[in-house]
Structure 1
Amino acid sequence: MTLQDIDFKYVGGVLTTGRNIRTTGNLTVDGTVTIGGATSTSSPAVPVPGDHGLAAWSYDPTVAVSTLTPTLGTVYLSAVYLRQPTTISKCWFLLGTAAGTPTSGQNWAGLVNSSGTVLSTASLDTVVTGSNTPKSGTLSTPQSVAAGTYWVALLFNGTTAPVVYKTAMPFTGFANVNQTAATYRYATAGTAQTTLSNITPSSNGAGQSVWVGVS
């Protein structure tokens, strides 16, 4: 944050100014902030991804109250919005019911940038087991990424698909309101796939609001 020609006054333990302050980066406040008479604390009651040790998520997991049985071989994309640079080593999803016998080497999670490049992938062959539990895949190469929009890609193949959790929103268009295919928050990108390859975002189809997270 850059301060220039700011007239500060320190009165009764409070630092005040009648001028505007602008920041183009992150501002961390240990305490409270009063803006226009309204007070906000630095530790709001609403949980954020960092409270769960995550860098970002698609939404609070308590909102994931419905399920989806993915189509085998279809790539599902859910966006995460990183507000600052970070390193991503894991992709998360919520597993409802385990997959039938997974096809070896054909179950994947991946981190995809907004240009459609698959930055790194994680095998899920041994992850899609158990039920009603958060699951994560460890990327083969951790990614140091800039702030921006990314997708977590999920791909499943086997005798039967696992069940994953999503919101109760039944209409793909609602979750992607005012977006084009290239910027869909939730999308599909290819069918009959066995591995995660680079995608063309403008060719994405609207998808279901599957919960994902990154850490």
Structure 2
Amino acid sequence: MCGISAASITLTAANVGAVDSAEKGAANGVAPLNAFGNVPTANLPDLGATYVKVSTRGAASGVASLDASGRVPAAQLPDAVSNTWGPEDHGLVAWAFDPAVATSIGLYPGSGPIRVTAVRLRQSAQVSRIVWHATGYAGGLASGSWAAIYDASGNRAGATEDMSTATYEPAEVHTGGGAAISSPLTSAVTLAAGTYYIAWRMQYNTSTGDGPMLLAAESSAGAPPNWFGLNTLKRFGYYTSGGASAPASITVSSMLNGANRFWAALA
């Protein structure tokens, strides 16, 4: 056997092509396996000089992580201007503009038309409510009132149910200066970074002023410009009429240039 002839044969690892047990975990030997069949960390090379350790991701003096859209989250970015207020400072996800620079008088959205305000998400976020600021509201939205979120292509991304019902109607406002009002979506949605359109239709008795007076930007011109650059992005607009519930989509290109720039936000 193995070319060895003797009365008592003792085989070595070399005789049978095996690895000597003394080499297990030893320098220039073979790596052992743990109870899960994996090489223990102690027997792996330190690749810290070549690769970044997972433990440094998002940590101080480490490396930035990326969100689902491949962007660095806002929480890991430095403040561009330390005294600039953002929506996160007020418990919001995104807003049309800083409401502190809006005009101090509220405007009625009108009963029947669909009002639209664009907002910008810089990173992916979960959204569960649509928010406005009312300078006054005594209640009284009628059936057929709703609000919804649409993406840049006009596809519905989330919506409320009828805002005349107790679950979805915004709270009344009777305080000086007004207050934020909101309506919940039927379920929270996670939105990727991008441009979104907040659209809403409020039905109410215009003769008794039952609708909410909403905060707006300067809107004194008959038709103020609502797009400002070299593309066709319109930040404020409206449709003359709408149905009793949020449509599955809107045609962004047919949005009219509204005279009122209503403030709206997501939370």
Whose strand proportion is higher, 1 or 2? 1
Residues in 1 aligned to 2:242 and 2:252: alpha-carbon distance in whole angstroms? 18
**Rg comparison, structure with higher value:** 2
Residues in 1 aligned to 2:99 and 2:227: alpha-carbon distance in whole angstroms? 19
TM-score, normalised with respect to structure 2: 0.61
Whether the aligned pair in 2 keeps the contact of 1:98 and 1:130 (CA below 8 Å) is yes
Residues in 2 aligned to 1:139 and 1:71: alpha-carbon distance in whole angstroms? 22
RMSD: 2.6
After TM superposition, the structure 1 = structure 2 runs for residues 11-160 of structure 1, keeping only pairs within 5 Å, are 25-26=71-72, 28-29=76-77, 44-65=82-103, 66-98=105-137, 101-104=140-143, 106-122=144-160, 123-125=162-164, 126-127=169-170, 129-131=172-174, 132-160=178-206
Greater alpha carbon shift after TM alignment, 141-150 vs 154-163: 154-163
With a CA cutoff of 8 Å and minimum separation of 6, indicate the structure with the bigger relative contact order.
Answer: 1
For the residue of structure 2 that corresponds to 1:151, the secondary structure is strand
Q: Structure 1 residues 29, 97: CA separation in 2 closer, same or farther (over 3 Å shift)?
A: closer
CA deviations 1:89-117 (Å, max 9, x no partner) are 1110011232663213x221211111112
The match for 2:238 among 177, 188, 203 is: 188
Q: CA deviation at 1:121?
A: 1.3
Whether the aligned pair in 2 keeps the contact of 1:99 and 1:158 (CA below 8 Å) is no
Q: Structure 1 residues 107, 45: CA separation in 2 closer, same or farther (over 3 Å shift)?
A: same
The match for 1:199 among 243, 246, 250 is: 250
Q: CA deviation at 1:46?
A: 1.2
Whether the aligned pair in 2 keeps the contact of 1:73 and 1:194 (CA below 8 Å) is no
For the residue of structure 2 that corresponds to 1:112, the secondary structure is strand
TM-score, normalised with respect to structure 1: 0.74
Q: Aligned residue pairs: how many? A: 182
Residues in 2 aligned to 1:203 and 1:210: alpha-carbon distance in whole angstroms? 19
Residues in 1 aligned to 2:117 and 2:251: alpha-carbon distance in whole angstroms? 15
Unaligned runs of 5+ in 1: 1-14, 16-23, 31-40
Residues in 2 aligned to 1:112 and 1:173: alpha-carbon distance in whole angstroms? 23
Residues in 2 aligned to 1:124 and 1:173: alpha-carbon distance in whole angstroms? 29
2:32 corresponds in structure 1 to none
For the residue of structure 2 that corresponds to 1:150, the secondary structure is strand
Whether the aligned pair in 2 keeps the contact of 1:157 and 1:194 (CA below 8 Å) is no
